[in-house]
Amino acid sequence: MPKSTDYKKEKTNQNMSVSFSADKLKEVQQIIARYPEERQKSALLPVLHLAQQEFGGWLSTETMDYVATLLQLEPIEVYEVATFYSMYNLKPIGKHLLEVCQTGPCMLNGSEEIVAYIYEKLGIRPGQTTADGMFTLKTVECLGACGYAPMLQLGKNYREHLTRQKIDELIASCSGQSTVATT
């Protein structure tokens, strides 16, 4: 009788329509090799990052199942991690992901007003994407920039000490529009 992991591999590979390119699969194997034998679960976070990058900026259930197969984990183990961290997107996102910090210091300094203003400007609430696919708004836990509150993350960059004007400039910049400074 085959081991359960062998059966899982065989069954999953037959039903999977997502798979890494040969280069990415080699990168996954290099990541797994960083950890002791039988500790491949330690590779989960970096492999999820690769998967999110490779498969359109978000993690579908099928993608998470594929990662579980690669790491010889139960799918629930991958779901638990992917749903815990806000850095993983569980549905498609817009071209520009606005991640507004919502923890104490940012809330005390106006992050709720920033989220409300983004809704006013773009018509989206947290978890929603604009109809044109340009912007997704997400509220997240502490981004570690409490002294610069309120703030948001856009890609790898932080935008700090947010105001309505700074949000207008950010939206215009992302939309490819120029902004005119007002006095």
C-beta separation of 48 from 88 below 8 A: yes
C-alpha pair distances (Å), 183 with each of 75, 84, 171 = 55, 44, 19
Residues 80 and 113 in one domain: no
Residue 107: give the domain boundaries: 96-175
Average pLDDT over residues 140-165: 94
What confidence score (pLDDT) does residue 16 get? 66
Chain centre to alpha carbon of residue 114: 20
Pair (105, 153) in one structural domain: yes
Which pLDDT tens digit goes with each residue over 76-125? 999 999 999 989 999 999 999 999 999 999 999 999 999 999 999 999 99
Considering the domain architecture, whether residues 168 and 104 belong to the same structural domain is answered as: yes
CATH number at residue 48: 1.10.10
Side by side, the strands of the sheet bearing 152-154 are: 135-140, 96-101, 152-154, 157-159
pLDDT for the residue 83: 95
Same domain, 8 and 80: yes
User: Are 9 and 78 found together in one domain?
Assistant: yes
Peptide bond into 150 cis (omega under 30): yes
Tell me: pLDDT of 181 over 50. no
Q: What's the pLDDT score for residue 176?
A: 86
Q: Are residues 105 and 167 in the same domain?
A: yes
- pLDDT for the residue numbered 1: 33
Reported as a single tens digit per residue, the pLDDT across 41-61 is: 999 999 999 999 999 999 999
Residue 182 lies in a domain: no
Ramachandran assignment for 57, one of left (phi > 0), alpha (psi -120 to 50 degrees), beta (any other) = left
Chain-centre distance of CA 117, in angstroms? 23
Is 46 domain-assigned?
A: yes
What's the rounded Cα separation, in Å, for the pair 88 and 63? 12
14 and 69 inside one domain? yes
> Using omega within 30 degrees of 0 as the cis cutoff, is the peptide bond preceding 46 cis?
no
Q: Are residues 166 and 139 in the same domain?
A: yes
Average pLDDT value for residue range 162-183: 79
On whether both 107 and 45 belong to a single domain, the answer is no
Largest CA distance in the chain: 77
Question: How, if at all, do strands 152-154 and 157-159 pair?
Answer: antiparallel
Number of domains into which the chain is organized: 2
Q: Is residue 117 part of a domain?
A: yes
Residue 38 domain-assigned?
yes
**pLDDT digit string, tens, across residues 126-151:** 999 999 999 999 999 999 999 999 99
Question: Phi, psi (5° rounding) for residue 65?
Answer: -65, -40
Give the model confidence (pLDDT) of 8-43 as tens digits: 444 444 456 899 999 999 999 999 999 998 898 999
